[in-house]
Each structure stands twice: as structure tokens, then as C-alpha cells.
């Protein structure tokens, strides 16, 4: 049945695209009811194919198409669907703390020695710092090459409000990594603080006599299994949550939003694709990780991250997928949540690109020497991104203030920030998934048989 539906989907998609292009360029007039009917006939064909295939990734991608259709044709309805997105994100947030606690504690106390924990720690931090530095440099290269901010003039009035910026010193960033109250850390979604607490708890548990330790370890291993099953249940709602997120974006901003600040948006997407091609792909090849199988394994968490613009929403599914890919649980549960604070490749690239954009838009000359200083500053401040609402915007404003640049270009960026957030969040998830496989290879624990059979 799926074989018969797919050709129909592509035929309808082709006809709908041709009709849209013809009408857009006014080659000849096409009645709007005909266009509307073609759009929704095509969307119905996509939905039929997704139902027949019964695959979560396909359902999520089709939900994005449905969301775009609702946002375009029924914008008022689309903006009222935000509650579905919020339900999905809130359910995901309930998973993160118990899942991280259970997998980290079980990994440290039950399956790893303490030397391995320390070894994974320094290897992960070195890898994160090197990769994020490459991301920052690529952002600078593209900003200086394409100059997306050149020629802009400040609008006469703004209707947006900038988020409040709290300047953080390097001491503040370090202190913020340690929890003062684990319940508060869970409530605020402070991933790094939960990780620090879980690691220390796991080490303390590992120091107990074996018979006492294993009683608790079996309990947290069972909790981890329950949370992975819980994730599976919540993911059944993912297509609805993702579709609502896309519908809300298109309904609020309009389908023509891609035309606004298109040069900056295009520069970011091109820079991120270049980063994947010249940094992440060679790293994967060097570590003998099959690119196509890896891409198929992470398709679901990346599509969730893209649509919801939330790395947290993809975390449980990403951890599950990387374990199935052949990375041991104790490595996945340590490296991936740590990477959410130290390895946000897409966000760090965006920060360097956006800072140069602000300088160009405001007519400030930013010499290479100052740009190098900025790279070192962002290497530190970007580590505070996790757990801060609208975090990259806050970090960007901090960098802008540090170099004496005006804030009005940041307000312009806010107009398309959600579209940029889709791309940078997706790259964050890709980078963290790859990091788990890389550390697994360096530890000599990557299951090649499982990895090469993961696409079956």
C-alpha cells in the first residue's frame, strides 16, 4: 500500500509547487480556492502515507508539513495551538531529571570504575572545547566573508523588548554549575547542576561496600528502564507537539518570514552546513562512525529539536537512540547531558556570527585582534547557555555590551530568531550525539556490530 501512496504524494506535491510558483510570479492567475484545495489534498496524501508507514520520524516530518499548512491557511487557529507545544515540552521536562539521575548513577556506581569517570570527564571537556572553537571560528569566517549586517540602518521604532541581561563573570559560570538545592535545580531545569549532583551521588554510592551499593544500583537501573519506557509513551505525542510548534511559528510570523533578514538567515544556515561538512563529518570518519547509519539513527531527535527549537525536547530520545546505536549507557548518560552545557556547537557558531553582524549593522570596525578576543570571551560565556531562558539572546547581549556595541541590531535579529534557533538547536543535538560516539570510540567501548546493524 505504501508503494502505491508514495508516487501519488510526489505527483501532488509537484503539481502544488508548480501552481504556487506560477501564481507567485503572476505568469497567469490561478483561483485561490483551487490552490487551497491542492494544498490540502497534498497534505492529506502525506498524512495517509504517514499512517500507512507507522514510523515516528515520518510522522514528525509529516506533522511539520501539516503545521505549515495550518499556519498559512488558518493563522488564528495556529496561534491558538501553542498549548499543544507546551504540553509536549512540559512532559519532556518531567523525564529529564529522573532519567539523567538514574542513568548517571547506575553508570558510575554499577558499571564503571571511578578512574573511567575521570577519564571520560577530561576527554569530553577537551573534545568539547576544540569542537566549539572550530564552530566559533567558522562563524567569524562567514560573517566577515558575506557581511550580512553591512548597509543596515536602525528602524525608527521598536515593538520588542530585550531580555534582561545579567553579566556573568567566569567565577559566576563555575559557581552556577553546582546545585545549592537539587529540588530547585530540577524545578528550574538546570541540566548541568543535575549532572554534577548525579555524578557526585554516583561516586559516593560507588564508595559503599558492594552488597549495600548493588541494592541501590538495581533500583536506579530499574528507574532508568521505566524512564525510557516513559519516553516512548511521551514520544507518541511528538508529532502533535511538533506540528503545533511549526503551525504557531508560521501563523504568528507568516510564510513570507523567510524574506526578512534573509542574508543573515542564509549565512547562518550555510555556516552551520559548512561546520557539519568540514568538522563533524571528518571527526566521524576518523572515529570510524558510519555517516549514513548515524544520520538515520539521530533523525528523530534532530527533527524534534528543529521543530520545537528546544534541545531539551530531544534529549531523552537522543540518549535512547545513541544507546541503540552502540554507545554504552554509562557513556551516553555522562557525555550527552554534559555536552548540553559545554558542547552547543550551533549556538556558539551563531553567537560569533551574530556579534559580527551587530558590529557591521552599526558601522563599527571590528579588527581581527578584537575578534580573537571575542572568540575567547564567547568560549567562556557560551558555557552558561544551558538552563537560561532565551539563553543565546542573553549571551549575545552580554557580548554586545562587553564590546561597546549598540543593541538595536539585536532587536532586528529577534524577528527571525526562532527560524535561526531551529537550525542551531538541530546542530547542537547532532554535535552532542556525535560526541557520545567519539568518546565511546576513545574509550574502546563502541559496539561496532550494533552500530553497523543499527539501521536494520
Per-residue pLDDT of the chain (456 residues; tens, 9 = 90+): 555 677 777 888 888 878 777 776 766 667 888 888 888 888 888 888 888 888 777 888 888 888 888 888 888 888 888 888 888 878 877 887 888 788 778 777 765 566 777 788 888 889 988 998 899 899 989 988 888 877 666 555 444 454 454 555 667 767 877 888 888 888 877 777 887 898 889 888 888 888 888 888 888 889 888 888 887 888 888 888 888 877 877 777 665 544 445 678 888 999 999 999 999 999 999 999 999 999 999 998 998 888 877 777 788 889 889 999 999 888 888 888 888 777 888 888 988 888 888 888 877 777 787 777 777 767 666 654 544 445 566 667 767 766 777 777 776 676 567 678 888 889 999 999 999 999 999 988 888 888 877 654
Q: How far apart are CA 6 and CA 50, in angstroms?
A: 10
**CA dihedral in degrees (346, 102, 208, 446; nearest 10)?**
-60
Q: Which 3 state secondary structure label does DSSP give 179? A: coil
- The CA-atom distances, in angstroms, between 287 and each of 103, 333, 344, 384 are 25, 20, 20, 29
Residue pair 220/329 in contact (Cβ under 8 Å)? The answer is no
Spatial CA neighbour of 215 closest among 117, 111, 110, 331: 110
Q: If you search the block for the grid coordinates 484545495, which residue do you land on?
A: 37
Residue 137's Cβ-side half-sphere holds a number of Cα atoms within 13 Å equal to 8
Which domains can be identified in the chain, with CATH numbers? 2-79 (no CATH), 86-238+259-452 (1.10.3860.10)
Q: If you search the block for the grid coordinates 536506579, which residue do you land on?
A: 220
What are the φ/ψ torsions at residue 327 (nearest 5 degrees)? -90, 125
Residues 6+ apart with CB under 8 A from 149: 143, 264, 356, 357, 358, 359, 360, 361, 362, 409
Spatial CA neighbour of 9 closest among 44, 51, 35, 54: 44
Q: How far apart are CA 57 and CA 306, in angstroms?
A: 12
Residue pair 343/282 in contact (Cβ under 8 Å)? The answer is no
Q: How far apart are CA 441 and CA 435, in angstroms?
A: 10
Amino acid at each position: 500500500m505504501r508503494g502505491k501512496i508514495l508516487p501519488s504524494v510526489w505527483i501532488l506535491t509537484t503539481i502544488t509547487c508548480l501552481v504556487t510558483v506560477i501564481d507567485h510570479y503572476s505568469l497567469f492567475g490561478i483561483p485561490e480556492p483551487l490552490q487551497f484545495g491542492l494544498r490540502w489534498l497534498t497534505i492529506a496524501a502525506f498524512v495517509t502515507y504517514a499512517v500507512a508507514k507507522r514510523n515516528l520520524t515520518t510522522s514528525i516530518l509529516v506533522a511539520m508539513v501539516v503545521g505549515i499548512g495550518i499556519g498559512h491557511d488558518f493563522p488564528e487557529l495556529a496561534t491558538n495551538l501553542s498549548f499543544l507545544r507546551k504540553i509536549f515540552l512540559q512532559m519532556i521536562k518531567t523525564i529529564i531529571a529522573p532519567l539523567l539521575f538514574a542513568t548517571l548513577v547506575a553508570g558510575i556506581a554499577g558499571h564503571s570504575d571511578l578512574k573511567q569517570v575521570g577519564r571520560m570527564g577530561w576527554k569530553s571537556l577537551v573534545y568539547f572545547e576544540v569542537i566549539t572553537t572550530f564552530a566559533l571560528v567558522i562563524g567569524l569566517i562567514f560573517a566577515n566573508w558575506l557581511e550580512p549586517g553591512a548597509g543596515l540602518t536602525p528602524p525608527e521604532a521598536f515593538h520588542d523588548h530585550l531580555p534582561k541581561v545579567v553579566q556573568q563573570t567566569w567565577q559566576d559560570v563555575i559557581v552556577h554549575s553546582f546545585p545549592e538545592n537539587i529540588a530547585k535545580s530540577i524545578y528550574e531545569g538546570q541540566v548541568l547542576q543535575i549532572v554534577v549532583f548525579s555524578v557526585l551521588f554516583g561516586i559516593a554510592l560507588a564508595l559503599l561496600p558492594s552488597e549495600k551499593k548493588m541494592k541501590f544500583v538495581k533500583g536506579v537501573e530499574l528507574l532508568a528502564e521505566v524512564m525510557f519506557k516513559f519516553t516512548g509513551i511521551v514520544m507518541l505525542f511528538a508529532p502533535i507537539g511538533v506540528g503545533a510548534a511549526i503551525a504557531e511559528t508560521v501563523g504568528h510570523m507568516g510564510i513570507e518570514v523567510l524574506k526578512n533578514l534573509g542574508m543573515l538567515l542564509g549565512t547562518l544556515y550555510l555556516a552551520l552546513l559548512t561546520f557539519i561538512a568540514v568538522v563533524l563529518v571528518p571527526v566521524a570518519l576518523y572515529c570510524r562512525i558510519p555517516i549514513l547509519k548515524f544520520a538515520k539513527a539521530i533523525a528523530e531527535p534532530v527533527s524534534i529539536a528543529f521543530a520545537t527549537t528546544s534541545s531539551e525536547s530531544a534529549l531523552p530520545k537522543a540518549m535512547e537512540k545513541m544507546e541503540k546505536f552502540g554507545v554504552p549507557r554509562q557513556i551516553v548518560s555522562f557525555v550527552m547531558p554534559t555536552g548540553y552545557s559545554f558542547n552547543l556547537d550551533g549556538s556558539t557558531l551563531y553567537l560569533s556570527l551574530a556579534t559580527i553582524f551587530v558590529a557591521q549593522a552599526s558601522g563599527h570596525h571590528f579588527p581581527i585582534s578584537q575578534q580573537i578576543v571575542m572568540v575567547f570571551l564567547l568560549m567562556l560565556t557560551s558555557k552558561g547557555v544551558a538552563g537560561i531562558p532565551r539563553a543565546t539572546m542573553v549571551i549575545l547581549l552580554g557580548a554586545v555590551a562587553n564590546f561597546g556595541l549598540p543593541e538595536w541590531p539585536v532587536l532586528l535579529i529577534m524577528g527571525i530568531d526562532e527560524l535561526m534557533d531551529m537550525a542551531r538547536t538541530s546542530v547542537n543535538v547532532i554535535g552532542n550525539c556525535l560526541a557520545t560516539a567519539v568518546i565511546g570510540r576513545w574509550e574502546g567501548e563502541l559496539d561496532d556490530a550494533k552500530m553497523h546493524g543499527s539501521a536494520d
